[in-house]
Amino acid sequence: MTLATRDIDRRLIGGVCAGMATRYQYNVRGVRALTVALAIVTAGLGGLAYIALWLFLPSAAAKTATETSSTAAREAIRQATPEVTPAAHAPSPGASAASTAVPGAATPGTAELYGSIAEDLPRIDEALLSLANVGQPWLREMMQSMLTGSGKKMRPAMALLAGRYGDYNLDRLVPLAASVELLHTATLVHDDVIDEAAERRGQPTAASLFGNSASVMLGDYMFAHAANFIAQTDSTRVVRNFAATLGRMASGELEQDITAFEYSEDVQRYMDRTGGKTASLFATASEGGAIVSGAPEAHVDALRHYGESLGMAFQIVDDILDFTGDPEEMGKPIGSDLREGTLTLPAIFYMQQHPDDNPVKHAFDDVDREENFALAIDEIRGSTALAEAAEAAARFGSCARETLSALPAGEERETLDRLVDYVLERRS
């Protein structure tokens, strides 16, 4: 059964169950009914159980795919790897907070950005792409579409950099780094279903390619394998951190979804949400790398705080770019977050400057919504709110740098310091 002829079944019961019914000659109605019953009983975990069962069913096609996984993954990596380009001159340590936090610098290449660990990043890509080597062609297509790309992979790179402060064992660090990246990707797949997004970074989303039901299952499939990767670290502490991080991320996303179009000028509420949905994964990546490598506890603590602060800066800059970025580079229209009912730091600062009457409040009250959104975006872009948000990002960047003083001087610390500049200056 091809992807084209399975559209009806995908919409009804999802790609996984349709594929099972076809491959094993099960009755489609029976599979559908049982899946719905399991979904109701287990709040969605029934679909995940189906995926796990099918994954481990013996298959001659799966065996052949396993034998060719290394070659296929390396070729995909070779084609997807971007060329290294020179970076803009990094700002001096004495530059002002506002100047260091304004996005727009040229994007550095992977080797320049990540230093000594850049040569090990392809092993993470290979581990991820190996998940696409399955016997089911539709699942292979789905996984390849989501895992093949030229993203910066900052979170897994942070895990490897942190691993330099102990025993740099790639057999344990690569699964950790892969789990972090896979967890991040899975959340994006689910986010795009919730947001009904057709594109992300200029590329079609899984939801637009495969439908919502199949995309939810795909995200669950990724979560399952992220858990499998993290178990390969052989660290109970890292596994606990991973579970806690997943909980924080889900809580942050729930908070954002439930409070959509809810008018609030509470900065702390924004910080708490950002700490959960974004910064927690940065912290888990850097702390996890230190734990897995057996780094001294003082270094583990410093790297956790570094990751948390860098993640906060990353999200604030992302929120600034939602108003100032190039729609082509960002892959979404200007002001998308605000139009979806999400209050980010620039919007909150703007509302604090205009507490009595502003177009954000009118739009959230559904008064001439489109006109007021357009007006709000123009006014935020023309206000000092963006500069205030940039200063907040710079302060988190400074906090990240301060934690690095607890680490021994060397190339890794310089690279971690350089990542702060990259986060504050990025343009997409």
pLDDT digits (tens, 9 = 90+) for 329-364: 777 889 999 999 999 999 999 999 999 889 999 999
CA pair distance 39, 45, nearest whole angstrom: 6
Number of CB atoms found within 10 A of residue 44's CB = 13
Query: Which carries the bigger pLDDT value, residue 372 or residue 210?
Result: 372
Residue 98: pLDDT over 50: no
Contact in structure between 205 and 197 (CB atoms under 8 Å): yes
Q: Categorize the per-residue pLDDT at 421 as very low, low, confident or very high, splitting at 50, 70 and 90.
A: very high
For the whole model, what pTM was predicted?
0.74
Residue 88: pLDDT over 70: no
Percent of the chain's residues with pLDDT above 70: 73
CA pair distance 327, 323, nearest whole angstrom: 9
Which of 85-94, 133-142, 225-234, 274-283 has the least mean pLDDT?
85-94
What is the rounded average pLDDT of the residues 114-125?
Answer: 94
Please name the residue that has the structure tokens 């809810």.
Answer: 262
- CATH match for 67-425 among 2.70.170.10, 1.10.600.10, 1.10.3860.10, 1.20.1270.10: 1.10.600.10
Phi and psi at 368, nearest 5°, equal 45, 55
Percent of the chain's residues with pLDDT above 90: 55
Tens digits of residue pLDDT in 29-87: 444 444 444 443 344 443 443 333 333 333 333 333 333 333 333 333 233 333 322 22
**52 residue type, one letter:** A
Tens digits of residue pLDDT in 153-174: 999 999 999 999 999 999 999 9
What is the rounded average pLDDT of the residues 15-23?
Answer: 39
Question: 10-40: buried (b, 16+ CB within 10 Å) or exposed (e) per residue?
Answer: bebbbbbbbbbbbeeeeeeeebbebbeebbe
Segments making up each domain of the chain, as ranges: 1-57, 67-425
Tens digits of residue pLDDT in 357-416: 899 999 999 999 999 999 999 999 999 999 999 999 999 999 999 999 999 999 999 999
Distances (CA, A) of 370 to 208, 359, 377: 24, 10, 11
Phi and psi at 407, nearest 5°, equal -100, 150
What is the rounded average pLDDT of the residues 15-33?
Answer: 42
pLDDT at 107: 53
Query: Which carries the bigger pLDDT value, residue 107 or residue 417?
Result: 417
Q: Using CB atoms within 10 Å of the CB of residue 356, give its burial: 0 to 12 exposed, 13 to 18 middle, 19+ buried.
A: exposed
